Structure 1
């Protein structure tokens, strides 16, 4: 039996996943809530347009050859897991695909018996309007287990290959928490500053932002270390600046959320660092300032 990718929501990364599945001739369903906007078109890096197919709203239950992908905002993950909990087989693999942290805790709460995976990507994507996504930059995707599960280990090569077709290249990470903290560091530095300053990512290469970026990196690395994750503090700023250069013409997801008066993922990004730092008795004044500034908008 062939696997089917079930991609929830109408976000930009979900659109890339659906378009990738379609190009790979991989069965998929794009799923949105009733009365929600549907993505119709995905513009590729080469300018080609992919027209997406949508599932019916009423999908009774997913089976063991279905993969449930949740490329949602961080604050949507908890509700989504609750809604899908009774609509999936215990053998159905689930992939959480969101910025920031907190997915592992939610998955442990709502889907402790399922094989759950975490994914993060550096592909650039932008919603041009309600029904169109543009692939704005080539990137890569990291994939790993949310928590130890015997079926997840067995399914690792299958799920990796499926995600490779949807949004590759994919690297399997045994140390997925380290990978997520690495991505968190980048997001903590770039997302709130671009949103507050109303600029593209490339503007952060300006020397006026260097001290703030450096302090954000130091605070995130210190907090990660207290949480048992060792980041490369010496090269952290250069990693951020490399992303700034490589995505210079892109707007960050938080910039777009704030610009369009949508809820942001600040709680799962700088807010997560502030929360973990408080638990460990660590002072993170710059991340706190950025967190409060975004919350005040």
Structure 2
């Protein structure tokens, strides 16, 4: 399995940390693709990235860096770690580096990206990874590890023969990983966390601990109430009380972190709001139900994004 040729599209915080786990797990034939030439040049200059671990230690991860316009052959496994809003911009690259039996793994938040990749490459050749890891890229070649949770993998139809090997490599590399037979249930659970923490920290430009305030908890409850209704309508039975306690527990553990959406807003970037809270709105409307709080959250985030263009 270590001889398998692997690529990561998107060398941001999650992509960089993923490279670290793969390298520690024994992978030496690894390429990482970037959208920015500045990132490519910086990585090439340093021959890789440095991960600053939460225990205070540094770890160097060597790999080859390429721009997304320069496909470097085909691969056995391709992780796509770009933001959901950037996924379609990687379609041409994915097509060029596809061997015809490549396993593509979607790591995007929310719903829609995994399904988009399934349409491109068939469900058997696309897996989804639910990422519960905290990271922040402070320079193109320096990434802060902000908490290692797990990555849960699954597919809608069967399991690609290379997926178990990827799970073993990541686990050996220090990232707990496993395969589930119900990946969409795990995605709904992760959506609960993202739908609360991401937009509320983005709107307030705050660390995750803002969720623990009186007002943060109140808004979390209303957001999750609509999410649970949407999930139940789709056949996924979530318990509101348990999900709420889980989200608050995650906010406590990651209280000093800035969510990915907060980082996007702070850096004037487009967010994944349509794939997170927007998905809740979409499902409720599909079933003839009205969304109030999640619709409002989506509109507020889009209003902030609009301010970047003024």
Aligned to 1:37: 39
In structure 2, distance between residues paired with 1:295 and 1:25? 42
Give the drift of 1:4: 2.4
Is 1:59 aligned to residue 71 of structure 2? Answer: yes
TM-score normalised according to structure 2 size: 0.88
State how far apart, in whole Å, the 2-side matches of 1:272 and 1:166 are.
Answer: 33
Match among 125, 128, 134 for residue 115 of structure 1: 125
CA distance in 1, matches of 2:38, 2:109: 22
Secondary structure at the aligned position of 1:98 is classed as coil
**C-alpha distance 130-210 of structure 1, shift in aligned 2 (>3 A):** same
Are 2:189 and 1:182 aligned?
yes
| Residues 7, 79 of structure 2: 8 Å contact kept | yes
| Contact persistence 2:151–2:178 (CA under 8 A) | yes
- Among 106, 111, 114, the alignment partner of 1:104 is 114
CA distance in structure 2 between the partners assigned to 1:136 and 1:34 by the alignment = 24
More strand by share: 2
- Per the TM alignment, residue 181 of structure 1 is displaced from its structure 2 partner at its CA by 0.7
Partner SS for 1:231: coil
Distance in 1 of aligned mates of 2:116 and 2:153: 17
1:77 aligns with 2:87: yes
Pairing partner for 2:268 from 261, 273, 291: 261
Q: Is the 8 A contact 2:7 2:32 kept in 1?
A: yes
Contact 2:103 2:160 in 1 (8 A): no
**Deviation per CA, 1:235-274, whole angstroms, max 9, x where unpaired?**
1110110010010000111000000101111111111111
> C-alpha distance in 1, partners of 2:171/2:89?
27
In the alignment, is the contact (CA less than 8 A) between 1:31 and 1:55 conserved in 2?
yes
**Residue-by-residue CA offset, 1:197-232 (whole Å, 9 max, x unaligned):** 121101211112222110111100100111122212
| Matched position secondary structure for 1:31 | strand
Number of equivalenced pairs: 292
Moved over 4 A (4+): none
Distance in 2, Cα, partners of 1:194 & 1:219 = 19
In 2, Cα distance between the equivalents of 1:124 and 1:87?
28
- Unaligned stretches of 5+ residues in structure 1: none
- Deviation digits for residues 16-74 of structure 1 (CA, Å, limit 9, x no counterpart): 011122223312112224625145322123321314322455434314xx210111101
- After superposition, residues 1-297 of structure 1 pair within 5 angstroms as 2-27=3-28, 28-33=30-35, 35-38=37-40, 40-46=49-55, 47-57=57-67, 58-63=70-75, 66-112=76-122, 115-145=125-155, 147-149=156-158, 152-165=159-172, 168-297=175-304
CA distance in 1, matches of 2:71, 2:93: 12
Task: Judge conservation of contact 1:141–1:167 (CA < 8 Å) in 2.
Answer: no
Distance (Å, rounded) in 2 between the aligned partners of 1:73 and 1:95 = 13
Q: Give the distance between the partners of 2:171 and 2:236, measured in 1 at CA.
A: 27
Q: Between 38-47 and 94-103, report the one with greater CA deviation.
A: 38-47
Which stretch shows the higher mean deviation, 278-287 or 45-54? 45-54
User: How far apart are the structure 1 equivalents of 2:104 and 2:173?
Assistant: 15
* CA RMSD after TM alignment: 1.9
Normalising by structure 1, report the TM-score.
0.91
Cα–Cα, structure 1 residues 56 and 290, in superposed 2: closer, same or farther, change >3 Å? closer
Query: Against the structure 1 CA distance between its residues 238 and 129, is the aligned structure 2 distance closer, same or farther, given a 3 Å change threshold?
Result: same
